[in-house]
Chains A and B, each alone.
Chain A
Amino acid sequence: MATDTSTASSPSAAETPAAGRRRLPPELSILGVMIGMMLLFEVLGWLFVGQSFIANPLRLKIMILQESEIGIIAVGVTQTIIIAGIDLSSGSVVGMTAMISASLAQAADAPHAVYPALTGLNPIFPVAAGLLCGLLVGVVNGWLIAYTKIPPFIATLGMMVSARGVANWYTNGQPIGNLTDSFAEIGAGWWPVIIFLGVAFIFHIALRYTRYGKFTYAIGANPLAARVSGINVERHTVLVYMFAGLLSGLCGVVHTARAISGQAGVGMGFELDAIAAAVIGGTSLSGGVGRMTGTVIGAIILGILTSGFTFLNVDAHYQEIIKGGVIIAAVVADQYRQRRRKSV
């Protein structure tokens, strides 16, 4: 019997030549794409514009700052995609939380303040209000998905429309200005970048080393098996969407502080950029696969594209067309990877 079993299982060992060797992190390939893109723009830069793309700190700073806001949402959206969901509401939640936090961040001397009695507050209050509203929206999203079993696409699509409605209704579409300097500090200088990388790092650690992370991947990989393994799938789903909402709220706060005004239209289309960043970064839309490092690189790739094309004076419309192509290419690559995995 002993010889019988060893021969029976030897083919499986032979099928996996990579076994035993150290596995390369999957982000390496997209990191390569990112570097390749930068080099491409560098070469094109010298050819067509006569200057360096990379050796321009200001351009890089602007690029990173722009992508940081998308990046903050993408950290949450990535997790919803890992559990085989999606969050379409994040852009609208940015708009909604932007209005709410701005209304509590107005300076004491602001004319026509939204809440004249609540001006000149410590920045803690607008920040807390923005985060809390984002979190609540996330809980509602998660609850709808986990307990009413409606598809995440529909639940968050509805929330996307409603949250934008709240943002517009809040001041009848009027922008909110005259924010306190202390609040504006949050969006000043490198802060958005630091916040982005900070939350990305926190959730990178959470996904890799905590029970929260292990359960997240498990639910995405096989919700039924997760349930049978004793994981409370519903509760965990709410938790993941809650974090996604919280991060959208954080983005709303950061954006408002950076722009020093609250506008109902901000964050329009952010959700799609965030999804794109996650997908370019290797997160699989069918769930169970994805890493924060990939999403960060994905966000930077999107930034490089925008920044590079602007640098080359490519028309904005062409930029969009090409950006769409890159997103599709990323999903095609994902499909290809999955097919290869299945054929093993």
Chain B
Amino acid sequence: MATISPSTAEIVRQSGVVPGAEYLLEVSDVRKAFPGVLALDDVSFRLKRGHVHALMGENGAGKSTLMKIIAGIYTPDSGSFKLKGQEIKLTSPLDALQYGIAMIHQELNLMNSMTVAENIWIRREPLNSLGFVRHEEMRRRTKALFERLDIPLDPDAEVRDLSVANRQMIEIAKAVSYDSDVLIMDEPTSALTEREVEHLFKIIRTLKAQGKGIIYITHKMNELFEIADEVSVFRDGRFVGEHAAADVTRDEIIHLMVGREITQMFPKETAPIGDVALSVRDLGLEGKFRGISFDLRKGEILGFSGLVGSGRSNVAETLFGVTPATSGEILIDGKQIAIRNPGVAMDAGMAFLTEDRKESGCFLLLDIMANMQMALLREGYATAGFVKERVIEALCLQQKNRLRIRTPDLEEPIINLSGGNQQKVLIARWLMIKPRILILDEPTRGIDVGAKAEIHKLISELAGQGVAVLMISSELPEVLGMSDRILVMHEGRMTGIVDRKDATQVRIMELASQ
């Protein structure tokens, strides 16, 4: 394969002729496995010069993994890369940058206490013969760059004083400053207002005109039709289709995204639905979500669906008092309660299994029993401060047997357990306080199929005993299989509540990506 020098490429580009390689980037048969998950299964992807190529798919479909591979952050297990027709191999993000592939991450990676110019030229500062930074030159280059992109920012401003949107612009300018041909944008509009999005699109169009290829990850349908030329859809680590954005409809894309059949059964046994246990009226948390209203009845499982970042977990945290609400009211058994902290929520009969086992669930340094009893301890079980070890140990053993937690004994450090068993210990922590309202945030994330089925059965049993269950899950089949009703959220607002009988994957995805 002939090597094209940058100058030749430049001439070809300016002449307007489609260069030898039609595609800027070709990725073939990429496979990547993480422990327990096949994240990408023989995926291929092609990016044309001067095109915006959108990537769509549910959470966990493999979009981000593929992008991280293209940006050199992950190394694929197998597969080949061609950049402008040339075979390449990426071993680090720096490698990718040198080949002209730059990624703009969802979470911004700027240094807040440094200036805009310093951030853009970090590691590449223009130096004088003594090795000192030539600030004037750096400023000049930044200005030139900003002019090209039509970004009205002061190169000397400190990043900490800028809005999220402006920081996003800096990230883009930085990526462009590497003279990258391939720009990867991971949900760049998630924190932008409409006007800022317009500006971003203007920049993207400028870049397109300059012959750059842009990979654009998004969950938003309207953006797709506004900015993208092509769209590739991913599902469960597989590539399921590529279309020109002009000849595909919104419904077709949704079908591609959720197309799988429900392969596993999630049995929700029908339970008698009782009185309203939890009633939420116009609940809001400044900057996170607003206008959430629903009733949750005894024996009912209310599913919470929506894309990552739609505010589902924030609602759960607010209900439990981890981040107290800034507006609206919460009624438990018809009584209004100001849930200022988790203690208040627990006193009202609530329990909350958090989303992130390691972050906010497990005490990894402590043993199983210490982990299990932590919520129970504030309910009593102590005489003059001394914990009734025997009573508690008996209760813990009971839970261990009930949930079939596989461990030789309760003194085992929890870190030695598998993910599924850790999750069971945390569920046991909450079952021990006999909650009347149980909030579960991703109760089966990252655990094996067997434990998953057991947890589903348990949730169903609890509902049968009259516990009101609120279950957040990113897995549509799980939500559809387990829930009596499903509340769908999008960007901090609820977009609808769907009854079990009307709930389909397509319906939920429509509401989630409105």
Report the bound CA distance from A137 to B411 in whole Å.
Answer: 37
Interface status of A174 (Cβ within 8 A of chain B)? no
**A12-B416 in contact given A214-B377, A227-B322 (Cβ < 8 Å):** yes
Residue pair A19, B448 in contact (C-beta under 8 Å): no
Tell me the residues in window 1-33 of chain A with beta carbons closer than 8 Å to chain B beta carbons: 1, 4-6, 8-13, 15-16, 19-20, 23
Residue pair A19, B412 in contact (C-beta under 8 Å): yes
Classify chain A's interface size.
35 or more
Q: A19-B412, A227-B341, A230-B375 provided; 14 other pairs, C-beta below 8 A? A: A4-B449, A5-B450, A11-B418, A12-B407, A13-B406, A16-B416, A19-B408, A20-B409, A211-B377, A222-B362, A228-B360, A229-B429, A288-B366, A341-B413
Interface status of B149 (Cβ within 8 A of chain A)? no
Interface status of A212 (Cβ within 8 A of chain B)? yes
Residue pair B365, A221 in contact (C-beta under 8 Å): yes
Report the bound CA distance from A206 to B384 in whole Å.
Answer: 11
Report the bound CA distance from A234 to B373 in whole Å.
Answer: 20
Report the bound CA distance from A341 to B366 in whole Å.
Answer: 12
Q: From residue B113, how far is it (CB to closest CB) to chain A in Å? A: 18
Report the bound CA distance from A19 to B406 in whole Å.
Answer: 12
Residue pair B343, A210 in contact (C-beta under 8 Å): no
Residue pair A228, B354 in contact (C-beta under 8 Å): yes
Report the bound CA distance from A4 to B404 in whole Å.
Answer: 14
Select one of B320, B365, B413 contacting A228, CB under 8 A. Answer: B320
Tell me the residues in window 227-243 of chain A with beta carbons closer than 8 Å to chain B beta carbons: 227-232
Residue pair A230, B408 in contact (C-beta under 8 Å): no
Tell me the residues in window 192-244 of chain A with beta carbons closer than 8 Å to chain B beta carbons: 206, 209-212, 214-215, 217-218, 220-222, 224-232
**A218-B406 in contact given A5-B450, A8-B448, A12-B421 (Cβ < 8 Å):** no
B417: chain A residues within 8 A (beta carbon):
12
Interface status of B370 (Cβ within 8 A of chain A)? yes
Select one of A1, A215, A232, A288 contacting B343, CB under 8 A. Answer: A232
Select one of B342, B386, B448, B451 contacting A209, CB under 8 A. Answer: B386
Residue pair B418, A8 in contact (C-beta under 8 Å): yes
User: Across the two chains, which residue of chain A brings its CB closest to B414?
Assistant: A221
Report the bound CA distance from A209 to B406 in whole Å.
Answer: 26
A8: chain B residues within 8 A (beta carbon):
418, 420, 448-451
B448: chain A residues within 8 A (beta carbon):
5, 8
User: Across the two chains, which residue of chain B brings its CB closest to A7?
Assistant: B450
**A230-B378 in contact given A8-B418, A222-B364, A344-B415 (Cβ < 8 Å):** yes
Interface status of B16 (Cβ within 8 A of chain A)? no
Interface status of A129 (Cβ within 8 A of chain B)? no
Interface status of B226 (Cβ within 8 A of chain A)? no
B346: chain A residues within 8 A (beta carbon):
230
Select one of B363, B408, B421 contacting A221, CB under 8 A. Answer: B363
Report the bound CA distance from A4 to B448 in whole Å.
Answer: 10
Interface status of A260 (Cβ within 8 A of chain B)? no
Interface status of B4 (Cβ within 8 A of chain A)? no
Report the bound CA distance from A116 to B216 in whole Å.
Answer: 82
**A225-B382 in contact given A9-B420, A12-B421, A211-B377 (Cβ < 8 Å):** no
Tell me the residues in window 367-409 of chain B with beta carbons closer than 8 Å to chain A beta carbons: 370, 373-375, 377-378, 382, 385-387, 389, 404, 406-409
Residue pair A230, B412 in contact (C-beta under 8 Å): no
Q: From residue A10, how far is it (CB to closest CB) to chain B in Å? A: 8
Residue pair B378, A222 in contact (C-beta under 8 Å): no
Interface status of A77 (Cβ within 8 A of chain B)? no
Interface status of B19 (Cβ within 8 A of chain A)? no
Interface status of A289 (Cβ within 8 A of chain B)? yes
**A9-B363 in contact given A210-B387, A230-B378, A341-B415 (Cβ < 8 Å):** no
User: Across the two chains, which residue of chain A brings its CB closest to B404?
Assistant: A5
10 residue pairs bridging A and B, Cβ less than 8 Å apart: A5-B404, A211-B385, A211-B387, A217-B363, A224-B360, A225-B360, A230-B342, A232-B341, A288-B365, A344-B415
